[in-house]
Structure 1
Amino acid sequence: MSRGKTSCKSLKICCAVSAILFLIIAVVIVVLLFTLFKPKQPKVTAQPVTIKGFNSIVWPLISLNVTLGIAVTVDNPNYGSFKFKDSTAYINYRGTIVGQASIAADTIPARGKHNMSTFADVFVDELITSGDFRTDFLSGVVNFTSTTTLHGKVSVLKLIKAKATSYSTCDISVNVVTITSDSVCTSKVKF
């Protein structure tokens, strides 16, 4: 009879210790998820947009070809890497898409910096047909907006994986006199 009481008592102690350990592990995981692993927005720093190709012909027909070199540095403060699929960046001029650039699939490492660069071909016909382009061009500054949506997956410690989408917007000012540019970018990630 004492063996039965001892084994029953041992079983109760074992269950209690297991429950306490499970509770401690659950609390630690919840605390880590809401503090250390809490998703933070990446910081996107735009490098000066370079004009890789600029060709204008005035006679006999007005012709303008522009290729922009776009480069950004993404600083990922999260403990998860972001692997994204092929995508396209769109260049807008006063609400009209006037160019696009292909972005190859890649991975932004956890707690690291990643440089992304591509070339955007500007659709000259769309620019020339805009009533505001001539005025902007003659003033010496043409403003564009670049928008990019990257669909992919976040991986934390190769254990936790979740779908995520990154939205980036860059305001680009091109000085047509000095053929230089300035840009400012913002980015947001949704899980």
Structure 2
Amino acid sequence: MADQESQVWPLAPGKLHNRSDYENPTFKAIRRERTNKCFVYVFAGIVLFCIAVLVFALLVFRVKSPEIKLRSVSVKNLKYSSWPPSFNASLSAQMTVKNPNFGDYKFQPSTVSFLYGGSKVGSSKVAKGEAKMKKTGRVSFAVDVRSNRLPEGANNLTSDINSGMLKLTGSGKVSGKVTLWKILNKKKTGKMDCTMTLVLKSKTIKDLVCR
């Protein structure tokens, strides 16, 4: 009896519990997947941001030359003679400066020359001005064109006066600066090359084309 009371019985094994620092493999895989997705999203966002900045820089910071044209030319006074062949005309013209940039374009005074047969018959100083962002500036000027400025015997003046039409060319160059947000100044120059026909009888300009 005493032997039975002194006998030690083994205790039943307690319920096993996972360690507090142990993570279920399934949860670990889910967390790793979420981390990878976040990395992909962040990387994609950075790439898209860089592309947007590049496109913005190409569109905004790419400075282009202005487009210079003679928009209109009219005859204020005209005298001509078939013999001896000569002409003397006072013209009124308007020059346009088209600014294609995302910044204002301020241009300096320039000179516009008029030629007949490749020789200069007149020129005029054009005042400085400004063309706002994506706008067109306009400058008016007057010029006298005279045949007595031609080199002797180097033209077809007699036949042209008899035909009643004189082919003239207007050319010039405008230089200035494009200012972007008052922090970036870029020098740009625009060139003008225009042709026109002076009709003697009607005292008008026709076929004005600029390239």
Same-fold call, TM > 0.5?
yes
List structure 1 runs of 4+ shifted beyond 2 angstroms. 22-31, 35-48, 55-59, 61-65, 72-77, 126-131
Note if contact 1:80-1:109 (Cα within 8 Å) is conserved in structure 2. yes
Aligned match of 2:126? 103
Normalised by the length of structure 1, the TM-score is: 0.72
Q: How does 1:31-180 map to 2 (within 5 A)?
A: 31-40=55-64, 42-44=66-68, 46-56=70-80, 64-127=87-150, 129=152, 130-180=154-204
Question: Matched residues, percent identical?
Answer: 26
- The answer for unaligned runs of 5 or more in structure 1 is 1-21, 187-191
Structure with more strand by fraction: 1
Q: Which string of whole-angstrom CA distances, capped at 9 and with x for unpartnered residues, describes residues 83-118 of structure 1?
A: 111111111112111110111111111111222211
Give the structure with higher Rg (CA). 2
SS at match of 1:47: strand
Closer, same or farther in 2 for the Cα pair 1:94/1:185, shift >3 Å?
Answer: same
Deviation at 1:167, TM superposition (A): 0.7
Distance in 2 of aligned mates of 1:63 and 1:139 = 13
SS at match of 1:34: helix
Distance in 2 of aligned mates of 1:142 and 1:62 = 12
Normalised by the length of structure 2, the TM-score is: 0.66
Distance in 2 of aligned mates of 1:94 and 1:57 = 18
